[in-house]
A = this chain, B = another copy of it.
Amino acid sequence: MFVDLAFPEHEYATRIARLRARMQQRGIDLLLVTNASNIAYLTGYIGESSYVPQLLVVALDADPVMFMREMDVGGCWHTSWLPRNSVFGYPEHLVGDPEGDPYAWIFERVRDRTGARTGAELGEMTSGTAAKFAWQRIEKSELEIQRIREACDIADKAMQRAYECIRPGVRECEAAAEIQAALIRGTPAYGGHGAFAPYMPAASRSGTAHLTWTDHPYQAGTHVNLEIGASRYAYAGAIMRTVSLGAPNDRLRRLHAATMEAHAAAREQLKPGALCEDIATAFSKVVRQHGFEKRSRCGYPIGIHWLEPTASLRVGDRTALRPNMTFHLMLGMWVEPEFGLVYSETVRINETGFESLCNTPFRLEIVE
């Protein structure tokens, strides 16, 4: 059997070792992991099964074991480093049965394997405790950065494809099909995995962020806000740009100029030792000088399955930047419910400052 792992096994061994060290610091013998991104981080498994109960058990003194729907056990064998006899499938009849309780089945086996002592501690695990462990993902290894770099490379190519396809009269779904295909096809050296659906609200939808596309044609004199992300073994590389269909009006031009100037100010703060809020403060100061306001945060850590729910580039977040953190510097400016633009890059903090992982030029793209 061919196991298609994102990384060599030693990468996962290092992660488990670091996790166990953190568990020990906190006096935890047994960690129950249900979050799909955390499971991918620790095992490599990237099958789509988090819509039903699943559980990875990491103990201090025993090998990790995975519990999942029987039907998905093979998927775990094929995409994780876990040995076959460490993956347990609960019976299929527990799925789709309102009376069925897969967790009861799972917990019985967790107790059997780990003994009463750890079993008694299960009740102390809160979701708050579990969330703290997500912080381990914020600093990336060189291997992880390579995956994000590959994803950014694919995202750049997909953005280029968007610039080629978006034209007045073209249906939004036609452009979306080409962008999504570019994200999946990838490069001759490596393909895209999974499929983050591009957000691409157009015209009066440009004031909002999280809409995909319609099947209506683009109109000259409007603009499109593209949020594109590629996936490499579930690692995301993201980029946002605005495309103007014809010459931009004065307001869009002014907002874009303000955003670019503020972007430059934010970039000056991207270095080890700076605080997350420093980036947001630097950005906001400049856009305010131009009469605009950014209400949403300026970005977040990016990694497995895109957004990592830990630090935020927002006022009040005093997390210090450290080398090999990766962020989506997300400078979308939704200034009114029906008017806004987007602009972003994926960056890696390095020893002296940062490195941009995207290569798409920083400009308002104009197509005719």
Contact = CB atoms under 8 A, between A and B. Distances in A.
Nearest to A315: B93
Please state the number of chain copies in the assembly: 2
Contacts of A2: 203-204
Contact of A78 (B49, B96, B204): B204
Contacts of A79: 211
A191 interface: yes
Contacts of A307: 51
A316 B193 CA distance: 38
Contacts of A78: 201, 204-205, 208, 211
Interface stretch (A22-30, A114-122, A247-255, A295-303): A295-303
A314 B214 CA distance: 37
B314 A210 contact: no
B74 A205 contact: yes
Interface string A198-233: 010101110111111111100000000000000000
B197 A194 contact: yes
Contacts of A295: 70-71, 91-92
Interface string A41-62: 0000011110100000000000
Point out which of A178, A208, A214 has the most chain B C-beta atoms below 10 A from its C-beta: A208
A95 B297 contact: yes
A338 B2 CA distance: 11
